[in-house]
Chains A and B, each alone.
Chain A
Amino acid sequence: MIVLASSSTYVQYVMDSVAYGSLFALMALSLSLLFGVMGLMNFAYGELIGIGAYTMFYTERYGWFVMVLATFATVIIGALLMEFVAFRPVRHASPSTLLITSFALSIGLQKFAYMVFPPGSPRTVEPIPWLTNQFQVKGVLFSRLEILTWIVTIVLLVGMVLLLKRTALGVQLRASTEDFRMAQLVGVKANWVISSAFAITGFLAAAVTILYMLNHGDVRPNVGQGPLLIAFVGVVIGGLGSLGGAALGGFTLGVVINILSATLPRSIQGHTLMFAFLLVILMLVFQPNGLMGSIEKLRRKRVAQEVPRVAEEPAS
């Protein structure tokens, strides 16, 4: 039975969903960047979250500042090592080889983590009370962590937009996501742009890990797998190859999952992901190019109507 909620409860759903969706927007953006630059769907992204989670667990005793710094450092280094050791040797291979490499890397790292950190005493990242304790405003419960999540996401998304639009590296990344071979032919260094994409992925993964682990706490070798799956689907519904689309797709899916898990009857709440993915399949049936693909189609149609260009006019 669906419980009818008060208006403050609805506001609560929205607030929680925005915070939850924001994390997936960041993850989906990272995945899309790598897919665009080198055609790689990086299934080992979840292991970056795992590396970050264990770093948080082992460094939290030294204070939050050291923990945050160490998490950023290890995850970024982890991402760069992934590129250098696993993906660089197969860079020119087919997309399926890249995909299998990322699967192999993901499973290999997980198995290694199970070996080094055998199951036994549970490991958790302890919540920081100042951040995680909730307070009430007009019937709506907030935590500073939730607000921090919004702020960090907005800052990172704006930062990404500025990086991609205003810097030479950003323009090179955007050109590479569109036509990697041509980008090389105009002088973009393949190693530099791919390593930068991995470093950015690592940076975003570290931010996601910190926010996610402070919420969830439970440290396991496969801690990144659940969020990774959602982010992947977010990339697909956003439209493969579109950075903005991926962020929008990840955000939308995160919001939908959170709303479903809050509103579905208790008896079927365990199947939230099934309902969310059914919605995704339904959407893809009608919009196979994803959200951004559809928006792009509409925009092209509008441009074609509004700007009837004079074909091949002389330049002067």
Chain B
Amino acid sequence: MLELKDVSVSYGRIAAVQALSLEVKEGEFVGLVGHNGAGKSTTLMTITGALSPVSGEIVFDGQSIVGMAPDEVLRRGIALVPEGRRIFGRLSVGENIKIGATVRKDRKGVDDDIREMLKRFPVLERYWNTSGAKLSGGEQQQLAIARALVSKPKLLLLDEPTLGLAPLMVDRVFEILEGLHASGTTILLVEQNAARTIEMADRTYVLRTGGRIQFHGTAAELAEIGDFETAYIGMGSA
């Protein structure tokens, strides 16, 4: 479904991602972990079209999406839940959800999906007319996920969805992701919480600083790598 081939991204003269290759198959849950500054968020932003790679190819559903504007990438079926949630604080919860469906034309389908979304995230129905800024961090995260889902994406990208959340809410977010995966949504998750991501994902890519893949595999395969165990497993499990 999604394939990155030797993708490199730079901020000026600083290389953020170097010759990165990864693949996400339809229906898969793929994790992308690594230390701060490893290039995880840069990778996601490049996939969405918000950043342009200096070299390499990004293919989605058999077509190159390099150079496409973010709205065009979304139209093709890739939605992002960004780091820090970035919900629109001055817009109401309802407006935040509805704007997620901007790329869709089927108004009836959108209404049905919003109703479905409110069943999945009842807290959002309760605060439908409340401005997004007034929600707690966990509620904002649910809103950010609902906003992305209402675009009916084929692939959902999530960037650090548990960052800054209380432990109870972290559990809730992972529970939501598990539910989405079970319902067939293809997911590429960037997380600091490496242990939990590896445990939940079908496969996980581990980035080292400079945006190169250091390890890659299933939870069982990664567990066999001694260096990996020392460097990463303890990292996010606290």
Contacts and interface: CB of A to CB of B under 8 A. Distances in A.
Nearest to B102: A187
Contacts of A174: 88, 90-91, 95
Given A181-B50, A185-B50, A187-B74, A313 B103 contact: no
Interface of B: 48, 50, 69-71, 74-75, 80, 82, 86, 88-91, 95, 98-103, 121-124, 134-139, 142, 147-148, 151, 165-166, 168-169, 172
Given A184-B69, A312-B169, A172 B99 contact: yes
9 contacts: A168-B102, A186-B147, A187-B100, A190-B71, A312-B137, A312-B168, A313-B138, A313-B139, A314-B172
A239 to B, nearest CB: 13
A311 interface: yes
A172 B168 contact: no
A316 B50 contact: no
What are the 3 tightest A-B residue pairs by CB atom distance, in nearest-first order? A312-B169, A187-B102, A187-B103
Interface in A298-316: 303, 307, 309-316
B142 A186 contact: no
Interface string A175-190: 1001101111111111
Contacts of B147: 186
Contact of B102 (A172, A179, A311, A313): A172
Contacts of B98: 168, 171
Given A187-B103, A303-B134, A313-B139, 19 more contacts: A171-B91, A171-B98, A174-B88, A178-B91, A182-B88, A184-B50, A184-B71, A185-B70, A186-B99, A186-B102, A186-B148, A187-B75, A187-B100, A309-B136, A312-B136, A312-B168, A313-B136, A313-B138, A315-B172
Nearest to A184: B70
Contacts of A186: 74, 99-100, 102, 147-148, 151
Contacts of B142: 315
Interface of A: 168, 171-172, 174-175, 178-179, 181-190, 303, 307, 309-316
B89 A315 contact: no
A309 B126 CA distance: 13
Contacts of A316: 122-123
Contacts of A168: 98, 102
Contact of A185 (B48, B134, B139): B48
A172 B172 CA distance: 30
Nearest to A300: B133
A311 B169 CA distance: 9
B166 A311 contact: yes
B91 A312 contact: no
